[in-house]
Amino acid sequence: MNAGQLAALIAAGFFAVVACTAVYVLARVARLVSAATALLSDYRDRTDQLVLQAQAAVDRTSEQLARTDSITASMDQVTTSLAELSGHVSSFAGLARALSAGFGAPLARLPALAYGVGRAVGVRRSARLAAAQPAWMALPGQRDGAAEREGSRQ
């Protein structure tokens, strides 16, 4: 073997080692690319689910805002109605003040008069009943007064 053949053999051996190393590296890169592809596919699926969930949340929020708008509109109507009612009540308050100023004092005296008349009639009735009942039917506190009345009549 001469030097040229030896150099060709070393170059062929070196080329075989480089080719085997390249095949090994390419096989590892192929596995890495397939793993990355699977990972990206999984992320894409999860991202799609996340986007769908976010869209559902946005839709629910939109529905709630629509409900809030309708509630706000009805509250505006209630506020308008209450302001109108307040105006009516304040106009009636002036009328009530005028009526109470004009009729208040005489109307306040009427129940007092009715009470006084009722009390006087009650006292008069109890005096008549006490005078009409016999001494033996009188209550213990009334017997002395009944006996005195009997004594004063005789």
Q: So where are the chain's domains?
A: 3-153
Query: pLDDT tens digits for 103-118?
Result: 666 667 778 888 889 8
pLDDT tens digits, one per residue of 23-34: 999 999 999 999
Angle at 100 between CA 95 and CA 103, to 5 degrees: 115
In this structure, what token pair is assigned to residue 115? 């009470």
pLDDT digits (tens, 9 = 90+) for 47-82: 999 999 999 999 999 999 999 988 888 888 888 888
pTM: 0.37
Place of tokens 């033996």: 136
Does the pLDDT at position 91 exceed 70?
Answer: yes
Nearest to 36 by CA among 28, 49, 51, 20: 28
